[in-house]
Structure 1
Amino acid sequence: MATDAQYQRLLAFRNALRQFDQWSRDAAKRHGLTHAQHQLMLAIRGSTTPQGPTVGEIADALLVRHHTATELIDRTEELGMVARTRDKEDSRRVHLALTEHGHETLAALTAVHVEELRRLAPIFETLPRPRADD
């Protein structure tokens, strides 16, 4: 059975997550993006696929369906943030990359996100520590 301290830690953590999520949405909007577009760009930049992630990999990373990922990519491509390239060995496969403008925008967003995470870090440090019997 959960203790009062565990409930308190869980509540504080969930509140911090919601605050960060709302802050992140606002930051993306200030850069002309939706929250989903920012997440797309982060998934592209963070991908370990050498040629760039495929639409399917992006759908998996964002926990959305393939057609939803495609629509998001279309909208972000219209902003000049993302580019598609056909796979040289399998032309049915499309890889994604950030454009120069996409790289610059994501770098700016990442800088403010890292700073915000640093600001929020004390919230986690001040949470009650679990007791041995928690």
Structure 2
Amino acid sequence: MAPEDDAPAGPPLTKREFEALAEFRFGIRRYLRFSEETVRRHGLTPQQYQLLLALKGFPGREWATVRELAERLQLRHHSVVELVDRAQGQDLVTRAANPDDARSVRILLTGEGERILGRLSALHRDELRRLDTALTPPDWGEPVAADAESV
């Protein structure tokens, strides 16, 4: 994408919008740091936690293909294969034949993967509750009359 394709829509941001955006970004970074530190204390990498979560949270079923996981994790196919290999070596996931498509395999959580994901996800839920409004996206709606007068 060329830089000229990134032209912003609408008027420039107000000071209040910059503050809201900065606060939101700060909240995201605090959450990500919490997540990275927490999963490492439990013997996983952040990418492994994301893999387990993507599997358990996959819409409508309890498994996914490498291609689907690559899309969900925004990684290249070969990177997901390596990630699955490492997770399988730690007994977090397993591979199974895909009866619907012989060209792909299903990636599933193991009992150990379910156990550690359950514990880590509960900790993440608790942290999100603590962060509460810090992770509320900025309101980009039209300024109310009082705001328009003070601008």
> Structure 1 residue aligned with 2:70, among 59, 72, 90?
59
**Equivalent-residue separation in structure 2 for 1:80 and 1:96 (angstroms):** 12
Alignment partner of 1:118 is 2:135: no
Structure 1, unaligned stretches of length 5 or more? none
Q: CA deviation at 1:52?
A: 1.4
**Equivalent-residue separation in structure 1 for 2:62 and 2:132 (angstroms):** 35
**Equivalent-residue separation in structure 2 for 1:52 and 1:129 (angstroms):** 37
Which residue matches 1:35?
46
**Equivalent-residue separation in structure 1 for 2:38 and 2:46 (angstroms):** 9
Q: Judging changes above 3 Å, is the alpha-carbon distance between structure 1 residues 51 and 4 closer, same or farther for their aligned structure 2 residues? A: closer
Alignment partner of 1:23 is 2:3: no
Identity over aligned pairs, percent: 35
Contact 2:69 2:80 in 1 (8 A): yes
Q: CA deviation at 1:92?
A: 1.9
Matches within 5 A, 1:1-134: 1-50=12-61, 52-124=63-135, 131-132=143-144, 133=148
Structure 1 range deviating more: 103-112 or 47-56:
47-56
Q: Over residues 23-68 of structure 1, what are the superposed CA-to-partner deviations in whole Å (9 max), with x where a residue is unaligned?
A: 1001110111000000000000011253611000000000011000
**Equivalent-residue separation in structure 2 for 1:46 and 1:114 (angstroms):** 14
**Equivalent-residue separation in structure 1 for 2:121 and 2:103 (angstroms):** 32
Structure 1 range deviating more: 40-49 or 62-71:
40-49
Larger Rg: 2
Alpha-carbon RMSD across the aligned residues, in angstroms, is 2.2
Q: CA deviation at 1:124?
A: 4.9
Q: Over residues 60-113 of structure 1, what are the superposed CA-to-partner deviations in whole Å (9 max), with x where a residue is unaligned?
A: 000011000000000111110001101124322101110000000000001000
**Equivalent-residue separation in structure 2 for 1:122 and 1:114 (angstroms):** 14
Number of positions where the alignment pairs a residue of Structure 1 with one of Structure 2: 133
Structure 1 range deviating more: 87-96 or 75-84:
87-96
Q: Is the partner of 2:103 in helix, strand or coil?
A: coil
